[in-house]
Amino acid sequence: MNSGGARAVAAGGSPDAPSAGTPGGAERARKARRYARLRPGDRVAVVAPSGPAEPSRLEAGCAVLRDLGLDVVVGKHALDRVNLGPAGPVRGDWHRLAGTDADRAADLQAAWCDPRVRAVVCARGGYGATRVLDHLDWDALRAATEASLASGGGPKILHGSSDITALHGAFGTRLRITTSFGPMPAGVVADLDPAAPDASLDALRAALLGGPAVAPAVLPGTRTLRPGRAEGPLTGGTLSLLTAVLGTPYAPPPAAGRIVFLEDVTEAPYRIDRMLVQLLQAGWFDGAAGFALGSWKDCGDPAELDAVFAARLGPLGVPVLAGLPAGHGPRQHTLELGAPAALHAPAPPGHDPAHPHPAVPDTGALTLEAPPGGAR
């Protein structure tokens, strides 16, 4: 196993080179094109590739997006409900999806291929995104992406989090674009008041719309599990989804030379440990430049989690910063997956020879490079 390091390079390859035998190897090795920020009046399509949205929450979240100045349309099947098995009467006490796999994929593809749409925003997570991947026409999605680039508008935005991690990996790899990991309309966004100050809303606005002079996005951590500095493209997402797509044609490329963002919800520490071991044994973490850990809502004793992360990730010899305000917690900042990033995980006070007694403890941060040229 490669121990990694800042700007880590997997043995015998470049930081962006995939593991041998990885599907789509040549395509994965190319640099991601950064998505174009939105302008007021741009059309945004809200679709539901996973679970069904509650109508009132979806409308509340769409109203927030409209208050940002966006023209919001909702996918045809966003409020549909089907159970996991064959077609039949819907049982409310069984798990439900927002329509059949084919219908959810059709909404997503129609939105991405519509030249009037500048961003595709996922209504909520839950479960079901992995099931739509085989139903998408990737040639059509790729053609729509290239047409968007040719028009001078830059790549469209795919936005969502949690279960949408499966789509982030596939879109980022197959379309060579950056994607947006953050709060969704039928989730946290539905509870936001555009007239009230809110860090999550400010971060979402900055990530999607930017401005004439977009500043780097800085997410402060709360504690260092292993000190150091690293640079590299940002990868990762929700841990359980990263393990779910591992070994499939839709998995993101291995993390060599990249900063890995991880978060999850309602997973016991032993399950998190098991998923980390799986990714380690698969070699997906080999050569990673560093780790940025977000929220772990309802995931057990935080001290036990820190011990798990220190034991599994610490031996890789790269910086590990915990406590970033991103994921399923109350503070959900937005991250541009695939964008250049820098990670600073400071040594605890008294252990840094250069700053043994800082006046204000340095909690470290994950910094995402501002998009070139500002907003579109």
Look at residues 68, 19, 365 and name the one whose alpha carbon lies nearest to residue 218: 365
List the catalytic residue out of 50, 148, 161, 162: 162
Q: Rounded distance, CA 171 to CA 152, Å?
A: 20
List the catalytic residue out of 263, 267, 333, 344: 263
- Would you call 77 a catalytic residue per the annotation? no
Which is it for strands 320-322 and 290-297: parallel, antiparallel or unpaired?
Answer: parallel
- Would you call 19 a catalytic residue per the annotation? no
Region class of 143: left (phi > 0), else alpha (psi between -120 and 50), else beta: alpha
Q: What secondary structure letter does DSSP report for 33?
A: B
List the catalytic residue out of 77, 159, 168, 328: 328
Cα angle, residue 246 at apex, residues 241 and 252 outer, rounded to 5°: 80
**Would you say 44 and 72 are in contact if contact means Cβ atoms under 8 Å apart?**
yes
Q: Rounded distance, CA 355 to CA 342, Å?
A: 20
Burial tier of 249 (Cβ tally within 10 Å: 0-12, 13-18, 19+): middle
| Tokens linked to 188 | 């946290």
- Tell me the helix, strand and coil percentages in the chain, rounded to 5: 30, 20, 50
Chain-centroid distance of CA 185 in Å reads: 15
For 347, 351, 352, 356, the CA distances from 362, given in Å and listed in that order, are: 9, 12, 11, 11
Look at residues 312, 323, 330, 222 and name the one whose alpha carbon lies nearest to residue 275: 312
**Would you say 311 and 228 are in contact if contact means Cβ atoms under 8 Å apart?**
no
Q: Rounded distance, CA 264 to CA 286, Å?
A: 21
Q: Rounded distance, CA 38 to CA 209, Å?
A: 5
- Would you call 161 a catalytic residue per the annotation? no
**What is the set of active-site residues?**
162, 263, 328
